[in-house]
């Protein structure tokens, strides 16, 4: 066990442990939040174990939201492929300062 995930026996590792298919598929946004997160982390790509890497596809309906959440000791990078997205984050204590920005396609 490393980082809470079982390490695969190196003799059993295969190419599929280093890839993920499906980010080209739009998520179903017909829910109360109007959004769908498709995560890709060590749960989906076993070869990411111990690397501290993950990514996600986020799909939004018009006026959809991704509720406030935290990423302790992690970084989030967004790329807008289509539309406009209001994003923001709050710094840690003691200031709890809010930063917001409107991202356009390509940002």
Binding residues for Mn(2+), by number, are 69, 71, 76
Binding site residue list for oxalate = 66, 71, 76
DSSP assignment string, 31-94: STTSEEEEEESTTT-GGGTTT---EEEEEE-TT--------TT-------SSS-EEEEEEPPTT
Non-local CB neighbours of 71 within 8 Å, separated by 6+ positions: none
């Amino acid at each position: 066990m490393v980082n809470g995930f079982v390490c695969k026996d190196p003799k059993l590792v295969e190419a599929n442990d280093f890839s993920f298919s499906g980010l080209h598929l739009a998520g179903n946004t017909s829910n109360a939040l109007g959004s769908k997160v498709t995560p890709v982390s060590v749960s989906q790509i076993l070869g990411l174990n111990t690397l501290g890497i993950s990514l996600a596809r986020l799909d939004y309906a018009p006026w959809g939201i991704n509720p406030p959440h935290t990423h302790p000791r992690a970084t989030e990078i967004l790329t807008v492929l289509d539309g406009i997205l209001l994003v923001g984050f709050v710094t840690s204590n003691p200031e709890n300062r809010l930063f917001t920005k409107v991202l356009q396609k390509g940002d």
